[in-house]
Each structure stands twice: as C-alpha cells, then as structure tokens.
Structure 1
C-alpha cells in the first residue's frame, strides 16, 4: 500500500521545520533527565554527610571482647615482689603513692613526703575498709566474684558494683585470677559501656569504658587490654592517671 502511494504521488516532503521540532523535543527530554539526576545528587550528598556526622556507639560485642582479652592478659600476669606500689597523678597536678606489704603494713606519700598508715586498713570498697587478706581471698570465678563483691557493698549501694569491680583492677593488689575475674564480670554488666579507642592526658592509647555512679556522674576508665593495666580514671571534673601499679621490691624512701 505504501509503495503504491509513493508510485502515484511520490515521496512526501517533510513539513517545514519538522526535523527541527523533533530534535528540539529529544533535546528537551534529555535535559530534563539530566536535571532530574543532578537534583538527586545534592540530596544524596547531604544524606551521606548527615550519616557521617551522627555519632555512632561502638558495638557492644566489640567492647565485651576487649574486656575478655584484658582478662586473659591479667590471668597470665605475675605478682612477685615485696610491696604493692601505686603512683597516681590527681587532676594533673598532685601526685600520690602507696606501698603495702603482704603483711598489711602500708605507707603513703604526697608530694614526696612519706607517712606510715596506722589505725585503718590501707584499702577500701564503697567506703568500707578492706584488708590485704580479704582481697587475696576473693574468688577467681567471675560469677562468684560478682556475688561476693555485691555482698560486701553497703545496703542500697548496688549501683556501685561496676565501680567496686573496677577498683580491683588497679587500686588494690588483686591476685591475677581475681583481676581476670573482675574483667570478665565487667564484660557481663549491661551498665558498662564501651566508648571506643581513647588516649589519656599523657597520650597513652587504650580502650575506654564507662559506668554510672550513685552521684549521677559516670566514671570512665581507659585500659590497655594488652597489658590489662588501667591507664586512667575520670569522673566529672576529677581525673587520676595511673603512673605505676604493680609489685616491686623497692620500698618507700
């Protein structure tokens, strides 16, 4: 049929400017598609930037594994020496030291002045005196340690459990097994939050964990899981850097 029409009438000439109109339509459609895609790009970039700016908490399981790694390191540590020795820097200005023998004799030093401790136990937990023998007798099982420490806390002070367990890691001469159990017990406490990698005031790198105190503030500990040592403690405006914590044969001078 089309061939017959062409034989009778010839090939029709396109209407004036027909090609121009068709090309203009094609160009407009392409431009609309390009503009639609370009309009999506700023929104996508803004959403990505917002996602990157939103603070994200480290995974809970990652923090738990770090505490269990620290527990393994603590269990393999040694506790040989005559004196348990701790030296701390308080609020960046004041230094304090403590020496305690296995027989319970103790000395403290502030700004270089050494004083013999008498009339009280050299350690405490939630405001109660704690002797060297009591610390050595703590269980090396995480569940048993948690139960024992909970029983040692004053009535109504269950909010101090995480802090009491944390104190067994650095302020007290806990045996290696007890320190390992304390790390494992902390790993199972839901109130202990993992904050991620951090550095203390001296630039030492570690892993930060926090837990609440009855006062309403949170205490943050930075630990080195490879050595199981606590590097620093901070709550509110108070800070303590742990400069030394361990057994030594060098006594107070």
Structure 2
C-alpha cells in the first residue's frame, strides 16, 4: 500500500518548517533535562550540609578513655579482707605502712616499728578527719560524689577537688563503686591533664596524669588502668611510691 502511494504521488517532502519544529523539540527536551539536574544539585548540597552538621559519636581523647578504663577495673575489684593495708615509700628512703580494720582500729609502722593509732582518724581530706564509716557512705555516682567531696572541703579550697578525689583512689579504703566514681569524676575535670605513658622509680609502667594544687605546684599520679591502682604520686617536693594498697587478712606485725 505504501509503495502504491509513493508510485502515484512520489516521495513525500517535509514541510518547510518541519525540521525547525523537530529541532526545537529536541533542544527543549535537553534543556528540561539540564534544568532538572540543576534543580537536584542544591538539594544534594543541602543534604550534604545537613549530614555534616549532625553530631556523630567521636572517639574519646586518650587520657579520658584511660581514666574510664581504670574506673571499669575499679568497679570490678573486690574488697574482702580484715585489714585495709597501705605500704608506701617516701622520697625513695622512708617506708611507712598503715592497717585499718572495718571497725576503725588502726596501726602504723615506720621502718618496721608498729604503733597503735589513737585519738583521731587515720584518714583525712583537705586537713579534716574522715572516718571509715564516712568513706563507706560516699556515693557511687560520679556527679554526686563530686558534689559531696566539694561540700566536705574547707572554704577557699576549691582547688583541692581533684586532689581530694584522687585520694579516694589509693590512700583510703574506698568501696569499689566509690573508686570507680572517683575515676569518672576526675575524667570530667578540665584541670586534670594526661601526660602520656610513664614509668615509676620501680620500673612499673602506667599512665601519668597531673592537676594543680593551691600551692601553685602540680601533683602527678602514675596509674595502672588495668588494675586501677595508683603506682606513685609526686608534687615537686615530695614523692610517694605505692607498694601495697588493698585489703588483706594479714595484720600488723
């Protein structure tokens, strides 16, 4: 049928404006596609900006993570035994020991000579006596512990907060939950600085932290985060190596 029509009428010729109309349609389609992509670009940019603004979990700085690791170790520690026992080496020469029962009876020893402690508590915080029962009653929540310790400090001694909290880690028979809370509270104090890996005078390795004291000096502690034990303390004028700190059934001898 198509061949018969072509034989009778010849090959049909396009109208004088047909090519122009076709070209306009093609270019219009291309323009619409280009405009649609241009409309998508701002939306993509906005979505990217929103993604960048969304707060995402960031890795904890090394020092804070170390203190939190020590807190976890402290929380899992046991507190079984008859005597709280601390043995320290002062300034590399003088050795002292302390034994305290859960009923508050206490003995000290210096260079091997044992003496019964009478008249006052063997524990203190910022110069004030602190009994065994008061230590046991401290809260195990970091925020509450920080507030309780701050309230116990004498007026004008706000700069001692980090030092008072650190004292709960090794010089006092703090329950595991309190020691863990003290580590977590220290991790939130901006004045506590992480100094990096360190080794004490006995060659024991740990992590060093420091904080300022009202005297203007700084106390540096080396801790073992795996055991949560404080290994040493130094404030520029005095040093203490912690040889033993924990509960035991062996009394003074």
Same fold (TM over 0.5): yes
Correspondences of 1:64-143 after superposition (within 5 Å) = 64-143=64-143
Q: CA deviation at 1:237?
A: 2.3
TM (norm. structure 1) is 0.76
Tell me the equivalent position of 2:181: 181
Report the counterpart of residue 145 of structure 1 in structure 2.
Answer: 145
Unaligned runs of 5+ in 1: 1-58
Contact 1:209 1:221 in 2 (8 A): yes
Structure 1, residues 34-63: CA drift from partner, whole Å, max 9, x if none? Answer: xxxxxxxxxxxxxxxxxxxxxxxxx98110
Secondary structure of the residue aligned to 1:237 is coil
Counterpart for residue 22 of structure 2: none
Instruction: Work out whether residues 107 and 115 of structure 1, in 8 Å CA contact, stay in contact via their aligned partners in 2.
Output: yes
Q: Give me the CA root mean square deviation.
A: 1.0
In the alignment of these two chains, the number of paired residues is 195
Task: Give a deviation string over 1:224-248, Cα, whole Å, max 9, x none.
Answer: 0000000000001210000000000
Determine the C-alpha separation between the residues in 2 that align with 1:60 and 1:224.
Answer: 19
Map 1:25-64 onto structure 2 (within 5 A). 61-64=61-64
Distance of 1:100 and 1:228 partners within structure 2: 21
Change (3 A) 1:164 1:116: same
Match of 2:195 in 1: 195
Q: Which runs of 5+ in 2 are unaligned?
A: 1-58
Which of the two has higher C-alpha Rg? 2
Quote how far apart the aligned CAs of 1:218 are. Answer: 0.2
In the TM superposition, what is the alpha-carbon distance from 1:122 to its structure 2 partner?
A: 1.1
